Amino acid sequence: MPNHTLPCDHPNFIVDDKYMFERVLGLGAYGVVCSTKNTETNERCAIKKIIGLFHADIIDIHDFNELYLYEEFMEADLHQIIRSGQPLTDEHYQSFIYQTCCGLKYIHSANVLHRDLKPGNLLVNADCELKICDFGLARGCVDAKNGDTGFMTYYVATRYYRAPEIMLSFQNYTKANVDQLQQILFILGTPDDETLGRVGSERAQLYIQSLDHFQKVPFAQLYPEASPVAIDLLERLLMFDPSSRIQVDEALEHPYFVAFHDPANEVNHNHPMDFSFESLVTSEDMKVELINEVDTFKNKKLTLDLTGLRRQPSINTPTPTRVRFDPTGLPSVETQQGYVDELIASPTQSDPKLERDLRGFAV
């Protein structure tokens, strides 16, 4: 098929001729994302080119120099919407959080952990349809009943979105780490002796005790305009002790989502994902695995096209008021570079021993 180069900010962004360039959606350390239009179907498509895929200290795969991902186009992300100051109602909040929980339930049922959930990775359309994106930090996990907590191992998260147990797992506490942990304690309060006693590491306990003591700030005081049922959900989600937090299945049953709750939307993956490929060590093995994965994807797509099947319609979205986006009114790519600190992937945990200690929370 004939190809052409898109006139974006990255050289050699080569795609099929049928994809016409519209604008750059994002730039980052790991790639470029462009909005395009498929001239054959008249559908918009987001194309991401992954750059910096290889490194001198990471095994290389010969004959694989570039990687392009063709994804459905979404109009904005929640980070942009929050920054834009567009008014949102409680019904919007219910819809966005409910859809996020539905996505998380599906992801977790496949034994996958996203590990970088934040507003910038929640894509939305004008009709309030929401989708989770950017699985660059995602990782498979083993079942906890087999004796491995899985979800805690080498957990990463973008700065400002780390849970307290993640903050406590770093070996070296920078000023930023201390400030963030103190902000968490300011809101959630210093844990009581019983909770603190379940932190297996004496060093972690001493560190918490060395900080100022904080009384928990009532969420109703922090968010006076929030409804009582919303406050109740916050109380259940934001707990210092991870074993006390409400699980995603329980959250979907919460009264806050009564207008949207539908078991048909809250499905599990049909079977856990197989992560045996992570044990591959040679470039030839990886190359074969990538080719097989691409072939499998193409065959599935061809089957859907031939049978006329399409994806299931989105869940119901708020009807009284809907968020309408004007792409020209959202922050430009250049402006978004000002938020780069929030977009940079955080480091993995640097202290496995302390991590194991922190997993001593009673379950």
pLDDT top residue among 337 and 93:
93
Dist. CA 13–CA 50, nearest whole Å: 10
The alpha carbon of 231 is separated from its chain's Cα centroid by a whole number of angstroms, namely: 23
CB 3 within 8 A of CB 17: yes
Q: Which of 189, 150, 121 is nearest to 339 (CA)?
A: 121
Q: 207: burial class by Cβ within 10 Å (0-12, 13-18, 19+)?
A: middle
Residues 6 or more apart whose Cβ sits within 8 Å of residue 114: 104, 107, 121, 132, 135, 137, 138
Residues 6 or more apart whose Cβ sits within 8 Å of residue 213: 190
pLDDT at 98: 95
pLDDT at 64: 54
* Residue stretches of the annotated binding site for ATP: 49
Dist. CA 76–CA 124, nearest whole Å: 5
For the stretch 165-195, pLDDT in tens is: 777 765 555 555 667 777 788 888 898 888 8
What pTM value is reported for the model? 0.69
pLDDT band, very low/low/confident/very high, at 304 (cuts 50, 70, 90): low
* pLDDT beyond 50 at 27: yes
CB 128 within 8 A of CB 92: yes
* H-state helical runs in 133-244: 164-167, 175-188, 193-197, 202-210, 219-222, 228-237
CB 158 within 8 A of CB 345: yes
Dist. CA 187–CA 218, nearest whole Å: 8
Query: What are the chain's domains?
Result: 8-73 (3.30.200.20), 76-358 (1.10.510.10)
CB 6 within 8 A of CB 15: yes
For the stretch 133-151, pLDDT in tens is: 888 777 777 544 444 433 3
Dist. CA 257–CA 97, nearest whole Å: 9
* pLDDT beyond 80 at 92: yes
CB 41 within 8 A of CB 310: no
Q: Which of 22, 48, 19 is nearest to 35 (CA)?
A: 22
Dist. CA 82–CA 120, nearest whole Å: 10
pLDDT band, very low/low/confident/very high, at 337 (cuts 50, 70, 90): very low
Task: Find tokens 């932190």 and name the residue.
Answer: 199
* Residue stretches of the annotated binding site: 49
* pLDDT beyond 80 at 55: no
Averaged pLDDT, 37-65? 67
Averaged pLDDT, 195-213? 78
* pLDDT beyond 80 at 301: no
The four Cα atoms 192, 197, 202, 203 give a dihedral, to 10 degrees, of -30
* Residues carrying an active site annotation: 116
pLDDT band, very low/low/confident/very high, at 197 (cuts 50, 70, 90): confident
